[in-house]
Chain A
Amino acid sequence: MSQTDLNPPLRRTRMDKRKTVCILIVVLIVFGALLGLLFIKGEKIAGSVACIYSNGKLIKTIELKSEDDYTFEVKSENGGVNTIQVKDGKIGVISADCPDKICVNTPHISDGVQPIVCMPNRLVIQIEAKRPE
Protein backbone atom coordinates (compact mmCIF):
# COMPACT_ATOMS: atom_id res chain seq x y z
CA MET A 1 0.00 0.00 0.00
CA SER A 2 2.86 2.32 0.80
CA GLN A 3 4.51 1.21 -2.43
CA THR A 4 1.76 2.72 -4.56
CA ASP A 5 2.50 6.17 -3.11
CA LEU A 6 5.99 6.18 -4.59
CA ASN A 7 5.96 7.65 -8.05
CA PRO A 8 2.20 7.24 -8.58
CA PRO A 9 1.80 7.99 -12.33
CA LEU A 10 4.36 5.42 -13.46
CA ARG A 11 3.00 2.88 -11.07
CA ARG A 12 -0.55 3.35 -12.32
CA THR A 13 0.27 2.89 -16.00
CA ARG A 14 2.23 -0.28 -15.30
CA MET A 15 -0.63 -1.68 -13.26
CA ASP A 16 -3.15 -0.90 -15.97
CA LYS A 17 -1.02 -2.66 -18.57
CA ARG A 18 -0.89 -5.88 -16.60
CA LYS A 19 -4.62 -5.66 -15.92
CA THR A 20 -5.26 -5.26 -19.64
CA VAL A 21 -3.12 -8.30 -20.40
CA CYS A 22 -5.04 -10.36 -17.83
CA ILE A 23 -8.42 -9.27 -19.18
CA LEU A 24 -7.23 -9.95 -22.73
CA ILE A 25 -6.18 -13.50 -21.83
CA VAL A 26 -9.55 -14.17 -20.16
CA VAL A 27 -11.41 -12.81 -23.19
CA LEU A 28 -9.24 -14.98 -25.46
CA ILE A 29 -10.01 -18.09 -23.35
CA VAL A 30 -13.76 -17.41 -23.48
CA PHE A 31 -13.65 -16.61 -27.20
CA GLY A 32 -11.64 -19.76 -27.91
CA ALA A 33 -14.05 -21.83 -25.85
CA LEU A 34 -17.04 -20.42 -27.77
CA LEU A 35 -15.30 -21.16 -31.09
CA GLY A 36 -14.59 -24.68 -29.84
CA LEU A 37 -18.26 -25.09 -28.89
CA LEU A 38 -19.34 -24.05 -32.39
CA PHE A 39 -16.85 -26.53 -33.89
CA ILE A 40 -18.01 -29.38 -31.65
CA LYS A 41 -21.68 -28.69 -32.31
CA GLY A 42 -21.14 -28.46 -36.06
CA GLU A 43 -18.75 -31.35 -36.62
CA LYS A 44 -20.33 -34.58 -37.84
CA ILE A 45 -18.59 -37.91 -38.28
CA ALA A 46 -19.55 -39.83 -41.41
CA GLY A 47 -20.23 -43.58 -41.34
CA SER A 48 -20.62 -43.49 -37.61
CA VAL A 49 -19.48 -46.45 -35.56
CA ALA A 50 -19.88 -46.31 -31.81
CA CYS A 51 -16.78 -47.53 -30.02
CA ILE A 52 -17.06 -48.50 -26.38
CA TYR A 53 -13.90 -48.27 -24.33
CA SER A 54 -13.56 -49.71 -20.86
CA ASN A 55 -10.37 -48.95 -18.98
CA GLY A 56 -8.91 -47.37 -22.11
CA LYS A 57 -9.31 -50.60 -24.13
CA LEU A 58 -11.72 -50.99 -27.02
CA ILE A 59 -14.23 -53.67 -26.02
CA LYS A 60 -17.07 -53.27 -28.52
CA THR A 61 -17.93 -51.51 -31.76
CA ILE A 62 -21.50 -50.99 -32.94
CA GLU A 63 -22.66 -49.77 -36.32
CA LEU A 64 -25.47 -47.53 -35.20
CA LYS A 65 -27.32 -47.27 -38.51
CA SER A 66 -27.66 -50.99 -39.14
CA GLU A 67 -28.24 -52.35 -35.65
CA ASP A 68 -31.66 -53.02 -34.15
CA ASP A 69 -32.65 -51.52 -30.84
CA TYR A 70 -31.14 -53.38 -27.93
CA THR A 71 -29.57 -52.90 -24.53
CA PHE A 72 -26.56 -54.49 -22.91
CA GLU A 73 -24.44 -54.17 -19.81
CA VAL A 74 -20.76 -53.32 -19.47
CA LYS A 75 -18.94 -54.33 -16.32
CA SER A 76 -15.82 -52.41 -15.43
CA GLU A 77 -12.77 -53.72 -13.59
CA ASN A 78 -13.80 -52.18 -10.29
CA GLY A 79 -17.23 -53.82 -10.43
CA GLY A 80 -19.24 -50.89 -11.78
CA VAL A 81 -22.04 -51.66 -14.21
CA ASN A 82 -23.34 -49.40 -16.99
CA THR A 83 -26.41 -50.32 -19.02
CA ILE A 84 -26.03 -49.07 -22.58
CA GLN A 85 -28.96 -48.67 -24.95
CA VAL A 86 -28.91 -48.52 -28.75
CA LYS A 87 -32.10 -46.97 -30.08
CA ASP A 88 -33.10 -45.24 -33.35
CA GLY A 89 -29.49 -45.02 -34.52
CA LYS A 90 -28.39 -43.42 -31.25
CA ILE A 91 -26.42 -44.77 -28.31
CA GLY A 92 -26.48 -43.77 -24.68
CA VAL A 93 -26.26 -44.94 -21.10
CA ILE A 94 -29.65 -45.52 -19.46
CA SER A 95 -28.55 -46.65 -16.02
CA ALA A 96 -25.35 -46.88 -14.03
CA ASP A 97 -24.24 -47.50 -10.48
CA CYS A 98 -21.73 -44.65 -10.42
CA PRO A 99 -22.31 -41.89 -7.87
CA ASP A 100 -22.52 -38.86 -10.15
CA LYS A 101 -24.78 -40.25 -12.95
CA ILE A 102 -23.20 -37.89 -15.47
CA CYS A 103 -23.14 -40.64 -18.10
CA VAL A 104 -26.89 -41.24 -17.66
CA ASN A 105 -27.67 -37.53 -17.91
CA THR A 106 -25.66 -37.09 -21.10
CA PRO A 107 -28.06 -37.18 -24.04
CA HIS A 108 -27.80 -40.09 -26.51
CA ILE A 109 -25.21 -39.54 -29.22
CA SER A 110 -25.25 -40.52 -32.88
CA ASP A 111 -22.69 -38.63 -34.95
CA GLY A 112 -21.09 -35.89 -32.86
CA VAL A 113 -17.55 -35.41 -31.64
CA GLN A 114 -18.58 -35.29 -28.01
CA PRO A 115 -18.21 -38.62 -26.20
CA ILE A 116 -20.14 -40.09 -23.28
CA VAL A 117 -17.82 -40.58 -20.33
CA CYS A 118 -18.40 -42.37 -17.05
CA MET A 119 -15.45 -41.32 -14.92
CA PRO A 120 -15.89 -43.70 -11.95
CA ASN A 121 -16.44 -46.78 -14.15
CA ARG A 122 -13.81 -45.72 -16.70
CA LEU A 123 -16.23 -46.06 -19.59
CA VAL A 124 -16.06 -44.03 -22.78
CA ILE A 125 -18.47 -44.24 -25.70
CA GLN A 126 -17.29 -42.31 -28.70
CA ILE A 127 -18.28 -42.08 -32.32
CA GLU A 128 -15.57 -42.88 -34.84
CA ALA A 129 -15.45 -42.94 -38.61
CA LYS A 130 -15.87 -46.39 -40.11
CA ARG A 131 -12.59 -48.29 -40.11
CA PRO A 132 -11.44 -50.24 -43.13
CA GLU A 133 -11.43 -53.92 -42.19
Chain B
Amino acid sequence: MKHTDRINTKKLTLCALFAAISLTLYIIESMIPTVVPIPGVKIGLAYIPIIFLIFIGGEWKICDAAAVLTVRVFLSALIAGNLVALCFSSVGGLFALITMAIMRTVIKEEWAVIPAGIFSAVMHNVGQLTAASFIYTWSVWAYLPYLLISAVISGLFTGLLIYFIVKKPNKLVNRIKYLR
Protein backbone atom coordinates (compact mmCIF):
# COMPACT_ATOMS: atom_id res chain seq x y z
CA MET B 1 0.00 0.00 0.00
CA LYS B 2 1.24 3.43 -0.87
CA HIS B 3 1.90 5.58 2.15
CA THR B 4 0.01 8.85 2.30
CA ASP B 5 0.13 11.57 4.89
CA ARG B 6 -3.66 11.72 5.05
CA ILE B 7 -5.20 9.21 7.41
CA ASN B 8 -7.01 6.51 5.48
CA THR B 9 -10.24 4.74 6.28
CA LYS B 10 -8.65 1.47 7.26
CA LYS B 11 -6.34 3.16 9.73
CA LEU B 12 -9.16 5.26 11.15
CA THR B 13 -11.27 2.15 11.70
CA LEU B 14 -8.38 0.32 13.35
CA CYS B 15 -7.72 3.36 15.56
CA ALA B 16 -11.34 3.30 16.71
CA LEU B 17 -11.10 -0.45 17.27
CA PHE B 18 -7.98 -0.09 19.40
CA ALA B 19 -9.56 2.75 21.38
CA ALA B 20 -12.54 0.45 22.04
CA ILE B 21 -10.23 -2.41 23.09
CA SER B 22 -8.34 -0.08 25.41
CA LEU B 23 -11.56 1.24 26.91
CA THR B 24 -12.90 -2.29 27.44
CA LEU B 25 -9.69 -3.31 29.18
CA TYR B 26 -9.97 -0.18 31.35
CA ILE B 27 -13.48 -1.19 32.43
CA ILE B 28 -12.42 -4.80 33.08
CA GLU B 29 -9.51 -3.51 35.11
CA SER B 30 -11.74 -1.32 37.24
CA MET B 31 -13.86 -4.39 38.05
CA ILE B 32 -10.88 -6.28 39.45
CA PRO B 33 -10.91 -5.75 43.22
CA THR B 34 -7.91 -3.92 44.62
CA VAL B 35 -5.37 -6.24 46.20
CA VAL B 36 -3.38 -3.64 48.13
CA PRO B 37 -4.87 -0.55 49.82
CA ILE B 38 -2.76 1.88 47.81
CA PRO B 39 -4.57 4.29 45.49
CA GLY B 40 -3.31 4.09 41.93
CA VAL B 41 -2.01 0.51 41.94
CA LYS B 42 -3.23 -1.01 38.68
CA ILE B 43 -2.23 -3.72 36.27
CA GLY B 44 -2.21 -1.30 33.36
CA LEU B 45 -4.24 -3.43 30.96
CA ALA B 46 -5.54 -0.34 29.16
CA TYR B 47 -2.01 0.49 28.03
CA ILE B 48 -1.51 -2.78 26.14
CA PRO B 49 -3.12 -1.53 22.87
CA ILE B 50 -1.28 1.80 23.14
CA ILE B 51 2.16 0.21 23.55
CA PHE B 52 1.29 -2.23 20.78
CA LEU B 53 0.46 0.61 18.38
CA ILE B 54 3.63 2.52 19.25
CA PHE B 55 5.96 -0.43 18.74
CA ILE B 56 4.29 -2.29 15.89
CA GLY B 57 5.98 -0.07 13.30
CA GLY B 58 5.00 -0.45 9.66
CA GLU B 59 2.39 2.14 8.73
CA TRP B 60 1.85 3.22 12.33
CA LYS B 61 3.31 6.39 13.75
CA ILE B 62 3.51 7.58 17.33
CA CYS B 63 0.84 10.23 16.68
CA ASP B 64 -1.70 7.48 15.86
CA ALA B 65 -1.13 5.91 19.26
CA ALA B 66 -1.38 9.37 20.81
CA ALA B 67 -4.77 9.87 19.18
CA VAL B 68 -6.01 6.48 20.45
CA LEU B 69 -4.74 7.29 23.95
CA THR B 70 -6.45 10.69 23.94
CA VAL B 71 -9.77 9.17 22.90
CA ARG B 72 -9.42 6.45 25.54
CA VAL B 73 -8.59 8.94 28.32
CA PHE B 74 -11.59 11.16 27.57
CA LEU B 75 -14.04 8.27 27.16
CA SER B 76 -12.84 6.55 30.34
CA ALA B 77 -13.36 9.80 32.24
CA LEU B 78 -16.89 9.94 30.83
CA ILE B 79 -17.55 6.38 32.04
CA ALA B 80 -15.95 6.92 35.44
CA GLY B 81 -17.87 10.18 35.63
CA ASN B 82 -15.40 12.41 37.42
CA LEU B 83 -13.09 15.16 36.36
CA VAL B 84 -10.40 14.16 38.86
CA ALA B 85 -9.85 10.86 37.07
CA LEU B 86 -9.56 12.72 33.77
CA CYS B 87 -6.92 14.99 35.27
CA PHE B 88 -4.90 12.06 36.65
CA SER B 89 -5.04 9.87 33.58
CA SER B 90 -4.34 12.68 31.13
CA VAL B 91 -1.20 13.85 32.95
CA GLY B 92 -0.10 10.24 33.53
CA GLY B 93 -0.89 9.36 29.93
CA LEU B 94 1.10 12.32 28.61
CA PHE B 95 4.14 11.34 30.70
CA ALA B 96 3.88 7.69 29.62
CA LEU B 97 3.45 8.60 25.96
CA ILE B 98 6.49 10.88 25.93
CA THR B 99 8.56 8.14 27.61
CA MET B 100 7.46 5.54 25.07
CA ALA B 101 8.11 7.91 22.16
CA ILE B 102 11.64 8.57 23.45
CA MET B 103 12.33 4.85 23.89
CA ARG B 104 10.99 4.16 20.41
CA THR B 105 13.26 6.72 18.77
CA VAL B 106 16.38 5.95 20.84
CA ILE B 107 16.23 2.16 20.49
CA LYS B 108 15.10 0.79 17.14
CA GLU B 109 15.16 -2.92 18.00
CA GLU B 110 12.18 -4.91 19.23
CA TRP B 111 13.49 -5.42 22.77
CA ALA B 112 12.96 -1.71 23.43
CA VAL B 113 9.34 -2.63 24.27
CA ILE B 114 10.32 -4.19 27.61
CA PRO B 115 12.17 -1.20 29.13
CA ALA B 116 9.63 1.13 27.48
CA GLY B 117 6.82 -0.76 29.25
CA ILE B 118 8.56 -0.41 32.59
CA PHE B 119 9.58 3.24 32.19
CA SER B 120 6.22 4.34 30.84
CA ALA B 121 4.42 2.66 33.75
CA VAL B 122 6.78 4.40 36.18
CA MET B 123 6.34 7.76 34.46
CA HIS B 124 2.57 7.29 34.37
CA ASN B 125 2.58 6.96 38.15
CA VAL B 126 4.92 9.93 38.55
CA GLY B 127 2.58 12.00 36.36
CA GLN B 128 -0.45 10.89 38.34
CA LEU B 129 1.20 11.81 41.61
CA THR B 130 2.18 15.20 40.20
CA ALA B 131 -1.45 15.84 39.35
CA ALA B 132 -2.58 14.43 42.70
CA SER B 133 -0.20 16.61 44.67
CA PHE B 134 -1.77 19.67 43.03
CA ILE B 135 -5.35 18.51 43.65
CA TYR B 136 -4.88 17.00 47.13
CA THR B 137 -1.84 17.64 49.28
CA TRP B 138 1.89 17.00 48.95
CA SER B 139 1.60 13.95 51.21
CA VAL B 140 0.41 11.73 48.34
CA TRP B 141 4.09 11.42 47.34
CA ALA B 142 4.39 9.01 50.27
CA TYR B 143 2.77 6.46 47.96
CA LEU B 144 5.52 6.79 45.34
CA PRO B 145 7.70 3.84 46.53
CA TYR B 146 4.74 1.43 46.46
CA LEU B 147 3.63 2.72 43.08
CA LEU B 148 7.16 2.44 41.64
CA ILE B 149 7.49 -1.21 42.63
CA SER B 150 4.05 -2.09 41.28
CA ALA B 151 4.79 -0.14 38.10
CA VAL B 152 8.05 -2.02 37.50
CA ILE B 153 6.30 -5.38 37.90
CA SER B 154 3.21 -4.56 35.81
CA GLY B 155 5.23 -2.68 33.20
CA LEU B 156 7.57 -5.64 32.82
CA PHE B 157 4.68 -7.98 32.08
CA THR B 158 3.01 -5.55 29.68
CA GLY B 159 6.34 -5.04 27.90
CA LEU B 160 7.02 -8.77 27.65
CA LEU B 161 3.53 -9.38 26.25
CA ILE B 162 3.97 -6.81 23.49
CA TYR B 163 7.55 -8.00 22.88
CA PHE B 164 6.35 -11.51 22.04
CA ILE B 165 3.68 -10.12 19.71
CA VAL B 166 6.01 -7.69 17.92
CA LYS B 167 9.00 -10.06 17.68
CA LYS B 168 7.14 -12.79 15.81
CA PRO B 169 4.13 -11.10 14.24
CA ASN B 170 1.52 -13.52 12.95
CA LYS B 171 -0.70 -12.99 9.90
CA LEU B 172 -3.22 -10.80 11.72
CA VAL B 173 -0.56 -8.58 13.31
CA ASN B 174 1.15 -8.16 9.94
CA ARG B 175 -2.15 -7.17 8.35
CA ILE B 176 -2.63 -4.50 11.01
CA LYS B 177 1.00 -3.44 10.70
CA TYR B 178 0.91 -2.77 6.95
CA LEU B 179 -2.82 -1.95 6.77
CA ARG B 180 -3.48 -4.72 4.28
Contacts and interface: CB of A to CB of B under 8 A. Distances in A.
B101 interface: no
A18 B107 contact: yes
Contacts of A106: 37
Contacts of B114: 22
A114 B143 contact: yes
Given A105-B34, A122-B84, A115 B148 contact: no
Contacts of B7: none
A29 to B, nearest CB: 6
B11 to A, nearest CB: 25
A119 B84 contact: yes
A72 to B, nearest CB: 20
9 contacts: A3-B108, A15-B109, A25-B115, A32-B145, A33-B146, A36-B144, A78-B82, A100-B34, A107-B37
Interface residues of A, number: 35
Interface in A2-39: 3, 15, 18-19, 22, 25-26, 29-30, 32-37
Nearest to A41: B145
Contact of B39 (A15, A19, A53, A119): A119
A122 B131 CA distance: 13
Contact of A26 (B40, B84, B115): B115
Contact of A33 (B84, B140, B149): B149
Contacts, number: 85
Interface residues of B, number: 33
A46 to B, nearest CB: 16
A114 B38 CA distance: 10
A40 B145 contact: yes
A102 to B, nearest CB: 5
Interface string A90-104: 000000000111100
Contacts of A33: 144-146, 148-149, 152
Interface string B131-157: 010011101101111101100100000
